[in-house]
Homo-oligomer: A and B are copies of this chain.
Amino acid sequence: MGTKRRRLRELAAREQLFINTALAHIQTDGLLALKMAKVARDCDYATGTLYQHFASKEDLLLAIFASENEKNLEIMRRATEWDAPSRKKILALIVGDVLFSANHPDHQSLGRYIFTDAVWEAASLERRQQVLDAYMPHHEAATSITQDAINAGDLDPRGQSPAELTLGIWAMCMGMHTLVEADEVLTSLKLVRPYRWLLRNIHLYLNGLNWQPLLDPFDEQKLNQDVEHIVETLYQDLCFSPLSTEEPPHE
């Protein structure tokens, strides 16, 4: 019965409408101001209908995150499928991550919020699984590049699995995003352009792993060159860049 199928399509479309609308609300007024009733009304549905899709407000937040995360996947794929030396690919992955964050300014903070116990627990089991599933390819992208490096002889795994070898990179990116969000902390310590530091630190770490070819992480020119090359080759369409090679205005 085609009716059934059509109905499912309509439901999915409505769900996406709710998600997009809620995301727009967050982007203009902040997480704090998100009102379930307002989301429903703005979509021309009753509050109850919204609750037919999402078990709770928190459930909706997880859904928004999972949805945005999917857009991220496409960007990561560019890095993994790029035909370049492994060490360039891993740098490209991180540059992509940073650019995505810059272009989706609420995504990181939403991510941090939903993984909070208080929020996580208030979402439905299915939704949580959906978020975890959306995360997996993320991690797979990184490990696949690490695997490439091992296969190409650029990296000696020393008995560790690619997933384990990737953990440090993952943690560092995540931590840096956190620090950037809590920017009062960084600025009060006069630390500027943190994402530049992320890239340097990743290179330091990769050097520590003896991931070939080794690079001087404090060679500004080489770093700029690599970043520019990556942005031009893979990320032309992502406009705003917090990695720009110029000095910040004045500090």
Interface residues of chain A, those whose CB is within 8 Å of chain B, are: 30-32, 109, 112-113, 115-118, 120-122, 128, 132, 135-136, 139, 158-160, 163-164, 167-168, 170-176, 178-179, 181-182, 184-185, 188-191, 194, 197-198, 200-201, 203-209, 217-218
- What is the distance, in angstroms, from A118's C-beta to the closest C-beta of chain B? 4
Q: How many copies does the complex hold?
A: 2
Cα–Cα, bound, A206→B205 (Å): 8
Cα–Cα, bound, A245→B124 (Å): 37
17 pairs of residues in contact across A and B, judged by CB atoms under 8 Å: A30-B118, A31-B117, A32-B118, A132-B188, A136-B188, A136-B189, A163-B189, A164-B191, A167-B179, A168-B172, A168-B197, A171-B172, A171-B179, A171-B198, A204-B205, A204-B209, A205-B205
Other-chain contact of A118, B113, B122, B173 (Cβ < 8 Å): B113
User: Once the chains bind, are B205 and A128 in contact (CB under 8 Å)?
Assistant: no
For A197, what are the chain B residues with a Cβ–Cβ distance below 8 Å? 164, 167-168
For A178, what are the chain B residues with a Cβ–Cβ distance below 8 Å? 112, 115, 171, 174-175, 178
For A158, what are the chain B residues with a Cβ–Cβ distance below 8 Å? 218
For A194, what are the chain B residues with a Cβ–Cβ distance below 8 Å? 167
Nearest B-chain residue to A185, judged by Cβ: B135
User: Once the chains bind, are B191 and A201 in contact (CB under 8 Å)?
Assistant: no
For A163, what are the chain B residues with a Cβ–Cβ distance below 8 Å? 189-191
User: Once the chains bind, are B121 and A116 in contact (CB under 8 Å)?
Assistant: no
- What is the distance, in angstroms, from A34's C-beta to the closest C-beta of chain B? 9
For A167, what are the chain B residues with a Cβ–Cβ distance below 8 Å? 179, 191, 194, 197, 201
Nearest B-chain residue to A115, judged by Cβ: B182
Cα–Cα, bound, A205→B122 (Å): 38
Cα–Cα, bound, A188→B130 (Å): 13
- What is the distance, in angstroms, from A23's C-beta to the closest C-beta of chain B? 15
Nearest B-chain residue to A216, judged by Cβ: B158
- What is the distance, in angstroms, from A177's C-beta to the closest C-beta of chain B? 8
- What is the distance, in angstroms, from A159's C-beta to the closest C-beta of chain B? 7
Known contacts A30-B121, A167-B201, A178-B178; 14 further A-B pairs (Cβ under 8 A): A32-B122, A112-B115, A115-B181, A116-B116, A136-B189, A160-B218, A168-B205, A170-B175, A171-B201, A172-B172, A172-B175, A173-B175, A174-B174, A201-B205
Q: Given contacts A206-B208, A208-B206, is CB(A171)–CB(B176) below 8 Å?
A: yes
Among A116, A175, A198, which residue has the most Cβ atoms of chain B within 10 A?
Answer: A175
